[in-house]
A and B are shown apart, each in its own frame.
Chain A
Amino acid sequence: MSALESANKIKAKFGDIVAGPTEFRGEISLKISDAEKIFDVCRFAKSIGFDYLVDISSIDNYGEDPRWTVVYHLRAIGNGEEIRFKTDVSEEKSELPSVLPVWRTANWHEREIYDMMGIRFSGHPDLRRILMWEGYPFHPLRKDFPLAGKPSDLPGVAFTQVTPMEGGPFVTLPSSSDSIAREPRVRVPENAERAISDKRLVDGKLK
């Protein structure tokens, strides 16, 4: 059975909520129009042999509606078939069912997506941040989160405000001065005093 046949089998089972299959570079993709059904589709896919969840990724279609796309890569270890599910989630909802009961590897994948994109997974028992720290106010992989050093006109995002750790012991201050002056260690008071006595620090600025 090829991946295309499996895709058609899934389509036959779930009918009009499944669009596709589309093929690009030999990879089969199915689009699931109802994100709430993703758990059922995945459970069925596992029952027909897709026992290995390779990866879950998420895409921010910024400026479009629905804003989020969640992408699942499935594999059948037995015969090597691979299939991809894609499903859209609107920004207001930002939530879809967790597939953790189907594959336990989904645990960290879903935590990562929650951390990086801010999409929640209902039914996930332990939806905490994983790469960023608890309490970090942003979801950095969103398209409206700018890279450090790139100005952003968007209101209320990262670097238009004070960053959460600004002034911290190991955070370099954003400024146009050279790398020596921006070095966090020169902000330690005794270093600053030494800089003043060495006449390197004038009016709070390093020369």
Chain B
Amino acid sequence: MATVQDIEIPDSAARAAAIEEAQDIQGEKMVLNMGPSHPATHGVLRIVLELDGEVITKADPDVGYLHRGDEKIAENMTYTQFIPYTDRLDYLAPLANNVAYALAVEKLLGIHDNLPPRCQYIRVMCAELARISSHLLGLGAFAMDTGAVTVFLLTFTEREKIYNLAEAASGARLTTSYTRIGGLMRDVPPNWCDMVRQFLKEFAVALAEAHTLLTRNRIWVDRLRDLGVVSKEMAIDYGLSGPNLRGSGVNWDLRKNQPYLCYKDLDFDVALGSVGDCYDRYLVRMEEMKQSMRILEQCCNKIPGGAENKSKEPVNVADGKITLPSKEKVLTSMEELIHQFMLVTEGVNCPPGEVYFGHENPKGELGFYINSKGGGTPYRLKIRAPSFINLSILGELMPGAMISDVPVILGSLDFVMGESDR
């Protein structure tokens, strides 16, 4: 609808008075609203910045624009039905979320240490592929926000290959929902390990290229170093996790400190920063990708049953009350039919009790606290979202930095709002 508006053009005397007035308010602080749809905020993060000139004096992050009530939804469905919702938490690493959630429910069932070895290896490979994929996007977007566009094109080419791997395994590129309580949706296709090896070969080149583009790049180093410094004590106090915690030099990696799946049998190093600035966090992520490549390489060689699974190693626990029977069995055997019916309608029957399981996700520690009163539905499911907690430090980190530092600090924290807001 068109509206008519009068524009007043004041005479010169009035304009001079206005300028005089404006000079009086100089030195006053300005409030700048960044987001919720700003390209550098990686989603719908809004930050209310209080500025003195170009220097930030106060920052108030405002989250919740992507809140979907995942915890409420979880209380109203069976454990298995919630798996697709975990895809949508950290949507840059859905495979890792699937693994984390399945392990949490399995811990409640008490079977998380007795999963079939092949299932453990495939899950580790999925989690590490997700880590590479998430770090690649984090790095590409980080570099682009800082002004280096080339890296983004490079990392996205590689991510596309990881999506191909996810598609080959689960049938979906983004919303994978690959794990099931007590196993996997299905075994990986016979040529999958070769595909992973091929990817690793190509990815090594791309990673080296990203290194040459950034690591010793004068502009990149100047913009990242000594910015957004998080000390060791501060990182622990604010509950940071993942690369952000390790970037500050805290030696804590759940894969090492509380080994789950088959991580004990795998050889890898934990990357640590020393200063805790943006550059350290960048280096930690770069090194983590390299270590993930090492893990994937070892998994490809050690996976029980080999790539083609000729010895028919199972990927699901052999418990009819937890995993679905084969369709053939359902149609021919009464017991399996009952199991199928109960699992689909009532869900996996979990014992009453409460567990917390933390998984080393690309963004940090993704934890699920499940409070069960028995039956197939959680009474309460709390998601410890690493992005949410990593963002809470912004109010402390921003003051003193310049406006142009904001995208750098945000990029170095590497968060995703789907997970933060749940």
Residues of A within 8 A of B (CB): 24-25, 27, 29, 51-55, 57-60, 71, 73, 77, 80, 82, 84, 103-105, 107-109, 112, 116, 129-133, 140-141, 145, 147, 150
By the criterion CB–CB under 8 Å, are B72 and A24 in contact?
no
CB B52 to nearest CB in A, in angstroms, measures 22
20 other contacts beyond A25-B355, A54-B239, with CB at 8 A cut-off? Answer: A25-B110, A25-B353, A55-B367, A55-B382, A55-B384, A57-B380, A58-B382, A59-B371, A73-B367, A77-B236, A80-B258, A82-B356, A84-B354, A84-B356, A105-B237, A107-B392, A129-B64, A131-B421, A132-B64, A145-B72
CA distance A135 to B367 in the complex (A): 30
CA distance A46 to B67 in the complex (A): 32
By the criterion CB–CB under 8 Å, are A80 and B371 in contact?
no
By the criterion CB–CB under 8 Å, are B236 and A141 in contact?
no
Which DSSP category, helix, strand, loop or mixed, fits chain B's interface? mixed
Contact of B91 with A by CB under 8 A: no
Residues of B within 8 A of A (CB): 63-64, 67, 69, 71-73, 76, 107-108, 110, 236-239, 250, 252, 257-258, 353-356, 358, 365, 367, 369, 371, 379-380, 382, 384, 388-389, 391-392, 396, 421-422
Name the one of B67, B250, B391 contacting A77, with C-beta atoms under 8 angstroms: B250
By the criterion CB–CB under 8 Å, are B110 and A147 in contact?
no
Name the one of A55, A108, A129, A141 contacting B392, with C-beta atoms under 8 angstroms: A108
Residue of A nearest to B252 (CB): A77
Residues of the B chain whose Cβ atoms lie less than 8 Å from the Cβ of A133: 64
Name the one of B76, B108, B358 contacting A54, with C-beta atoms under 8 angstroms: B358
By the criterion CB–CB under 8 Å, are B354 and A130 in contact?
no
Residue of A nearest to B112 (CB): A25
Residues of the B chain whose Cβ atoms lie less than 8 Å from the Cβ of A80: 257-258
CA distance A34 to B91 in the complex (A): 41
Q: A57-B382, A130-B63, A147-B72 are in contact. Are A29 and B354 (CB under 8 A)?
A: yes
CA distance A140 to B71 in the complex (A): 10
Residue of B nearest to A53 (CB): B239
7 interchain pairs, CB-CB under 8 A:
A57-B382, A71-B382, A108-B391, A130-B63, A131-B67, A140-B69, A140-B72
Q: A25-B110, A54-B358, A59-B380 are in contact. Are A132 and B67 (CB under 8 A)?
A: yes
Q: A25-B108, A77-B250 are in contact. Are A54 and B367 (CB under 8 A)?
A: yes
CB A70 to nearest CB in B, in angstroms, measures 11
Q: A27-B356, A55-B369, A77-B236 are in contact. Are A141 and B71 (CB under 8 A)?
A: yes
By the criterion CB–CB under 8 Å, are B356 and A73 in contact?
yes
CB B246 to nearest CB in A, in angstroms, measures 11
By the criterion CB–CB under 8 Å, are A71 and B369 in contact?
yes
Name the one of A27, A52, A116 contacting B239, with C-beta atoms under 8 angstroms: A52
CA distance A52 to B241 in the complex (A): 10
Residues of the B chain whose Cβ atoms lie less than 8 Å from the Cβ of A105: 237-239, 389, 392
Residues of the B chain whose Cβ atoms lie less than 8 Å from the Cβ of A108: 388-389, 391-392
CA distance A57 to B384 in the complex (A): 9
CB A82 to nearest CB in B, in angstroms, measures 8
By the criterion CB–CB under 8 Å, are B76 and A147 in contact?
yes
CA distance A60 to B382 in the complex (A): 12
Residues of the A chain whose Cβ atoms lie less than 8 Å from the Cβ of B69: 140
Residues of the B chain whose Cβ atoms lie less than 8 Å from the Cβ of A116: 71
By the criterion CB–CB under 8 Å, are B250 and A25 in contact?
no
CB B222 to nearest CB in A, in angstroms, measures 30
Residues of the B chain whose Cβ atoms lie less than 8 Å from the Cβ of A103: 237, 239
CB A28 to nearest CB in B, in angstroms, measures 11
Residue of B nearest to A131 (CB): B64
CB B73 to nearest CB in A, in angstroms, measures 7
Residue of B nearest to A112 (CB): B388
CA distance A17 to B65 in the complex (A): 40
CA distance A123 to B421 in the complex (A): 25
Q: A52-B236, A77-B250, A105-B239 are in contact. Are A25 and B379 (CB under 8 A)?
A: no
CB B1 to nearest CB in A, in angstroms, measures 10
Residues of the A chain whose Cβ atoms lie less than 8 Å from the Cβ of B389: 105, 108-109
Name the one of A24, A54, A140, A145 contacting B354, with C-beta atoms under 8 angstroms: A24
Residues of the A chain whose Cβ atoms lie less than 8 Å from the Cβ of B358: 54
Residues of the B chain whose Cβ atoms lie less than 8 Å from the Cβ of A73: 356, 367, 369, 384
CB A196 to nearest CB in B, in angstroms, measures 19
Residues of the A chain whose Cβ atoms lie less than 8 Å from the Cβ of B71: 116, 141
CB B108 to nearest CB in A, in angstroms, measures 7
By the criterion CB–CB under 8 Å, are B237 and A24 in contact?
no
Residues of the B chain whose Cβ atoms lie less than 8 Å from the Cβ of A51: 236-237
Residues of the A chain whose Cβ atoms lie less than 8 Å from the Cβ of B354: 24, 27, 29, 71, 84
Q: A141-B72, A147-B76 are in contact. Are A54 and B356 (CB under 8 A)?
A: yes
Residue of A nearest to B250 (CB): A77
Residues of the A chain whose Cβ atoms lie less than 8 Å from the Cβ of B353: 24-25
By the criterion CB–CB under 8 Å, are A25 and B73 in contact?
no
CA distance A25 to B372 in the complex (A): 13
CB B162 to nearest CB in A, in angstroms, measures 29
Residue of A nearest to B395 (CB): A107
Q: A59-B379, A80-B257 are in contact. Are A54 and B365 (CB under 8 A)?
A: yes
CB B370 to nearest CB in A, in angstroms, measures 10
